[in-house]
Amino acid sequence: MQDAGLSRPESQNLTASKAKNLFNNPIQMSISNELIEKADGDVIFIWTAENNVKGNQTAQNKLDQLKLSPLWKNLKAVKENKVYLVSSYWIGSGMLAANAIIDDLFKYLINTP
């Protein structure tokens, strides 16, 4: 994302080692609905996929509930309709995943109506 000129909001600007120390995970952190403003930015990319059908349904249900929240509706990216559901390759690595992400960035950020 940084190479594409996108920066993280200050609340998310952590190194992998700092995130691992704080959240026991180097690539993601959990936040409560009350702290959802920490996820705000100019654009929000959401990945909800899990490893099984039940996990996927649970993730989708949580996202649906979140979208009903006034706190969610108050986010800048939500107000500007710049929230995008992305595929699992967004957490992948390698050249094919990187190229697919670049295609998505063009679709969502450059070729928007």
86 within 8 A of 46, measured Cβ to Cβ: yes
For residue range 3-34, what is the model confidence (pLDDT) as tens digits? 778 877 777 788 888 888 888 888 777 778 88
Reply yes or no on whether the pLDDT at 75 is more than 90.
Answer: yes
Furthest CA-CA distance within the chain: 41
- Select the more confidently predicted residue: 97 or 11: 97
40 C-beta neighbours (distance < 10 Å), count = 19
Does residue 2 carry a pLDDT above 80?
Answer: no
From the options 3.40.50.300, 2.160.10.10, 3.40.50.1980, 3.40.50.800, give the CATH code of 2-110: 3.40.50.1980
Structure-token pair, residue 54:
């039940």
